[in-house]
Amino acid sequence: MSLLQVKDVSMFFGGLAAISDVSFDIQKGDILGLIGPNGAGKTTMFNVVNGFYAPSKGEVFFKDRKISGLQPHQICKLGIARTFQVVKPLQRMSVLDNVIASAYLRVNNKGEAEDIAREKIKFTGLHDDIDVISKGLPLGKRKKLEIARALATQPEMILLDESFAGLNPAELDESIEIIRKIKANGITIMIIEHHMKVIMAISDRIVVLSYGQKLAEGTPNEIGSNPLVVEAYLGEAESA
Amino acid sequence: MTSVAIEVFLQTLIAGLLLGGLYALIGLGMTLIMGVMKIINLAHGELMMVGMYIAYWMFVLFNIDPYLSVFIATPILFFLGIALQKFLINPVLKVEAILPENQVILTVGIGMVLANLATIFFTSDYRSTPVSYATNAFYLSDYWKASPIELSLSVPWSVSFILAVIITISLWFFLARTDTGKSIRATAQDTDAALLMGVNVKLMRVVTFGIGSGLVGAAGCLFLPIYYLFPSLGGQFTLIAFVITILGGLGSTIGAIIGGLILGVFESMTATYIGMGWAPVGRFVIFVVCLIFLPGGVASLLKRKKLGK
Amino acid sequence: MKKNIPLIILAILAVLPLTGTSTYMLHIVILVIMWSIIGMSWNLLGGYCGQVSFGHAAYFGVGAYTAGILYTKFDISTWWGIPLCIIVVALFSLVLGFIVLRLRGPFFALATLASGEVMRITAENWVDFTGGTMGILIQKRTWVDKTWYFYIILIIAAVTFILVKKLIHSKLGYYFVAIREDQDAAESLGINTTLYKTIALCISGVLTGIAGAFYTSYMGYIDPHVAFALHDISIITIMIVMVGGVATFWGPFVGALIMVLLAEFIRSMPGLGTAHQTFFGVLLIVIIIFLPNGVVGDFKKLKRLVGLGRASS
């Protein structure tokens, strides 16, 4: 069963199309990788799914319910959480308070919110930094905080926007492990990533965007052998 | 409409346009500062008040015409603005605080001090400048004997308006043609990009605050022959400048000019048709309507094609 | 021990009138408490929720005029203004919030500033209803003695204190701070930012309005320039919180104490009275540059500065 359907979505900014007529489905429990060169419209797609933008054309369905046009907080309440490419921690709050703030989405009581928060912090391996003010965290940990915060809203689906960029190899391995664990918990994942090896390894399906259009879609193997993709993106990535 | 009604309407329109031209000059200084520094200068009106007192004392002590004082008050205000920016506002930009509005609150403090110092030194008396041409006016019937309606055009208002237009055009040339002007515009559009292109952003901020202050100082000189002067007049002009900036679109110079004219006409109409006391309310009605229905101001209408994010 | 500090302060204050405090002293204490309430309510919206209001005089004035108009138009005691203004100011905040809360940062700040000014001008011009610039004089004062006024404002302050304390440690408090720190992140975490900002504005407005209604009963006279004052209310409110400490619990109390005492001190010095705005303006500038988190927020820094001063002298 497809959990999220993106149907013929276009997004125009003052006449320029950031996304044009893109459609794809995500199956429940899958990891869908969204790749493409810079400016391909990946983050814009996230912003459409997450409700920051209402698509200029087309619709987005979540569990067969139309969500395009809803506010971000409504979409989050329905079960789609996200992280940001440029991390947005609540700077002057501790790691714990950051996560508590988002855990409050499903509970009203401080004790329950704190329980959820502690669990998610442990899940992402941040428990040593639980009382650190998030402004002082190094980038790798801030990226984890983004994930912990998104998970604390107890989503059915999570959008990860470049959660691996700028991480060192050790952190990279940890993060891949975290994503596998998220999937094992039955949460559907859509992920934007530049690390080709990572995305090839963890994705069930991959959608390739280029200049706002869908270039290809398929399993990692299909994508890896698609000449169009290799030319437009992979080749460039290899040589870089 | 009877001819009297037309006469009243046209007279109101003219008064509004003349006022609007001066408002535009006040708004320009504010919009420049806002565009480049991304802060609101709530001491803007108080700087104008300082300009007016300079022109006033030049007139009283040395019998210098307020219009000539433009050349005295503008440089003084320019340097005052630079000093304020360098020694007070810049340090605050670096201070880590919970509320980013700290800078705005700082300018409130500056405004309070300026207004209060003026009260201490010059008392809170209302003053007017008895220039010889204060009540002179042009009459339509003098030029067109057969005119069915009578319209008048006050001499000081007209002169102030024309000077405001000249200053505005000079500013336009400065921004469009000179290197400094271009650097200022680049800083306003994209600070990071300007930095990369080698623009001295820090200097541009200081210079812009100086120019913004100088402009409003000039506006003060132009207002002096037609307006009362008192220490606390700054507040209302700060608000006017801000309304114009919103109406015109943040950081847009053309927007500020159009915004100033719209506001001038609207206030003039409110005063004539609803009542003098309500003119300031009209100002806010425009402000609120604009915020709700036209958040980007006039500038957003002018460049609908511009790419947004 | 630390937990009991509020109770100890309350107990000391409660017996204050019994110790034969002079009327003037009691007046000062009443002012400090009233300003603490306004400061706390501003802090809830500005310090915790990050929506810096330059127009709290609007709420203060609407509260004050609710009480005043009850008296002039309906011949009802101004004290009923306190419960009534909860409804009136809440409705007023909803309408105002609808307009101003769609704006962010400095735009919000200026829209609120304008709202205070609009209310003042309206009160000046709507003579039939408000009495215009003549203001409203309450001829039938409830008490000559200040003791009861003192206890009433003390009770209001205690209730405000408990309410704010509960709020900032609840879900609402977390949401307010999340909105202050990053509105986009808050929204994407499922926080209905518009709703929670409106809640913050309403609570803040109502608390300030109650202080305004009290003011009418206490002072017995209001006019548009007093009740909707830009500098003497809106800006002073900001100053109290800035001086005391933004987003700190005790900041508004400390700020109110410092500001009221300073104002009285300046007023009592011959020749300085006219310069009080300069003092306040300079104080504001100094605080923003050197103690951006106020006396409470930067207490350690302040102690260090004072300590250094002593060591070197």
pLDDT > 90: what percent of chain A?
A: 43
**Quick check: B309 contacting A, CB < 8 Å?**
yes
Q: Which residues 155-194 of C are in CB contact (within 8 Å) with B?
A: 180
- Average pLDDT of span B214-226: 90
CA distance A107 to B183: 52
CB contact (8 A) between residue B308 and residue A92? no
Give the pLDDT band of residue A234 (cuts 50, 70, 90): low
CB contact (8 A) between residue B308 and residue A13? yes
B-chain residues near A52 (CB < 8 A): none
**Quick check: C26 contacting B, CB < 8 Å?**
no
3-class secondary-structure state, position C254: helix
Nearest CA in chain A to C167: A110
- Closest approach of chain A CAs to the CA of C186, in angstroms? 8
Question: Which of the residue ranges A163-167, A189-193, C95-99 would you say has the lowest mean pLDDT?
Answer: A163-167
**Quick check: B145 contacting A, CB < 8 Å?**
no
Q: Which residues 49-68 of C are in CB contact (within 8 Å) with B?
A: 50, 52, 54
pLDDT over 90 at C209, yes or no = yes
- Average pLDDT of span C217-228: 89
Q: How many A-B residue pairs are in contact by the CB < 8 A criterion?
A: 12
Q: Could you tell me if the ipTM is greater than 0.90?
A: no
Mean pLDDT of all residues belonging to chain A: 87
Are C65 and C58 a contacting pair, CB within 8 Å?
Answer: no
- Average pLDDT of span C199-224: 93
pLDDT at position A182, please? 92
Question: Which of the residue ranges A148-152, A197-201, B19-23, B303-307 would you say has the lowest mean pLDDT?
Answer: B303-307
pLDDT at position B309, please? 32
CB contact (8 A) between residue A16 and residue B304? no
- Closest approach of chain B CAs to the CA of C308, in angstroms? 21
Enumerate the H helices of chain A as residue ranges.
42-50, 72-78, 95-103, 110-123, 139-152, 169-184, 196-202, 220-224, 227-229, 235-239
A-chain residues near B98 (CB < 8 A): 92
pLDDT at position A233, please? 64
- Topology of domain C22-312 in CATH is ABC transporter involved in vitamin B12 uptake, BtuC (1.10.3470)
Q: Using CB atoms, which residue from C113, C121, C282 is nearest to B113?
A: C282
- Average pLDDT of span B158-174: 89
Which of C188, C193, C248 to probe by mutation at the A interface, max A CB count within 10 Å?
C188
What predicted TM-score, i.e. pTM, was given to this entire model?
A: 0.86
pLDDT at position B306, please? 44
A-chain residues near C165 (CB < 8 A): none
pLDDT over 50 at B308, yes or no = no
pLDDT at position A78, please? 92
CB contact (8 A) between residue B98 and residue A14? no
pLDDT over 90 at C45, yes or no = yes
CB contact (8 A) between residue A14 and residue B307? yes
Structural domain spans, chain B: 3-302
- Average pLDDT of span A224-235: 73
Backbone angles phi, psi at A59, to 5 degrees: -140, 155
Nearest CA in chain A to C170: A110
Are A190 and A48 a contacting pair, CB within 8 Å?
Answer: no
pLDDT > 90: what percent of chain B?
A: 18
- Average pLDDT of span B294-307: 64
Identity of the residue numbered A145 = L
Q: Which residue has the tokens 């704190």?
A: A114
pLDDT at position B98, please? 77
- Average pLDDT of span C221-226: 89
pLDDT over 70 at A238, yes or no = no
pLDDT at position C71, please? 87
Instruction: State the chains in contact with C (3 or more Cβ–Cβ pairs under 8 Å).
Output: A, B
pLDDT at position C105, please? 73
**How does pLDDT run across C70-80, given as a tens digit for each residue?**
888 888 888 88
Which of A11, A13, A56 to probe by mutation at the B interface, max B CB count within 10 Å?
A13
Q: Using CB atoms, which residue from A14, A16, A92 is nearest to B98?
A: A92
A-chain residues near C174 (CB < 8 A): 97, 100-101, 104, 113
C182 vs C1: which has the higher pLDDT: C182
Q: Using CB atoms, which residue from B98, B305, B309 is nearest to A15?
A: B305
For A142, which DSSP code? H
| Two tokens, residue A124 | 């992402």
CA C42-C43-C47 angle, to 5 degrees, is 125
- For A2-79+155-239, which CATH class? alpha beta
pLDDT over 70 at B52, yes or no = yes
- Average pLDDT of span B230-250: 86
CB contact (8 A) between residue C188 and residue A71? no
Which of C43, C246, C288 to probe by mutation at the B interface, max B CB count within 10 Å?
C288
CA distance B304 to B72: 41
CA distances from C204 to C79, C111, C218 (A): 20, 16, 21
CB contact (8 A) between residue A100 and residue C181? no
Mean pLDDT of all residues belonging to chain C: 86
- Closest approach of chain B CAs to the CA of C23, in angstroms? 31
- Average pLDDT of span C177-195: 91
Q: Using CB atoms, which residue from C107, C276, C284 is nearest to B109?
A: C284
- Closest approach of chain C CAs to the CA of A116, in angstroms? 14
**How does pLDDT run across B179-204, given as a tens digit for each residue?**
888 888 888 888 888 888 888 888 88
- Burial status of residue A147 (CB atoms within 10 A of its CB: 0-12, 13-18, 19 or more): buried
pLDDT at position C311, please? 47
CA distance B252 to B32: 8
pLDDT over 70 at A98, yes or no = yes
pLDDT over 90 at A152, yes or no = yes
Q: How many B-C residue pairs are in contact by the CB < 8 A criterion?
A: 130
CB contact (8 A) between residue B307 and residue A92? no
User: Considering the domain B3-302 in this protein, what is its CATH number?
Assistant: 1.10.3470
Structural domain spans, chain C: 22-312
Which of B31, B34, B105 to probe by mutation at the C interface, max C CB count within 10 Å?
B105
A-chain residues near C182 (CB < 8 A): 88-91
- Residue B78, CB half-sphere, CA atoms under 13 Å: how many? 12
Ramachandran assignment for B127, one of left (phi > 0), alpha (psi -120 to 50 degrees), beta (any other): beta
Are B8 and B152 a contacting pair, CB within 8 Å?
Answer: no
pLDDT over 50 at A239, yes or no = no
**Quick check: C205 contacting B, CB < 8 Å?**
no
Are B219 and B22 a contacting pair, CB within 8 Å?
Answer: yes
pLDDT at position B303, please? 62
A-chain residues near B309 (CB < 8 A): 13
pLDDT at position B212, please? 92
CB contact (8 A) between residue B104 and residue C52? yes
Q: Which residue has the tokens 């030194």?
A: B121
pLDDT over 90 at A157, yes or no = yes
B-chain residues near C45 (CB < 8 A): none
C307 vs C313: which has the higher pLDDT: C307
C72 vs C302: which has the higher pLDDT: C72
CA distance A54 to A10: 10
B-chain residues near C277 (CB < 8 A): 112-113, 115-116, 119
Q: Using CB atoms, which residue from C169, C174, C193 is nearest to A104?
A: C174
3-class secondary-structure state, position B272: helix
Mean pLDDT of all residues belonging to chain B: 84
CB contact (8 A) between residue A84 and residue C188? yes
**Quick check: A6 contacting C, CB < 8 Å?**
no
- Closest approach of chain B CAs to the CA of A117, in angstroms? 25
CA C130-C132-C134 angle, to 5 degrees, is 110
pLDDT over 80 at C267, yes or no = yes
CA distance A196 to C311: 61
pLDDT at position B128, please? 81
Q: Using CB atoms, which residue from B98, B304, B309 is nearest to A13?
A: B309
CA distance B19 to B27: 12
Nearest CA in chain B to C116: B284
For B16-50, letters b (16+ CB in 10 Å) and e give bbbbbbbbbbbbbbbbbbbbbbbbbbbbbbbbbbb
- Closest approach of chain C CAs to the CA of B158, in angstroms? 30
- Average pLDDT of span C260-268: 87
B285 vs B260: which has the higher pLDDT: B260
CA C197-C203-C208 angle, to 5 degrees, is 125
**Quick check: B96 contacting A, CB < 8 Å?**
no
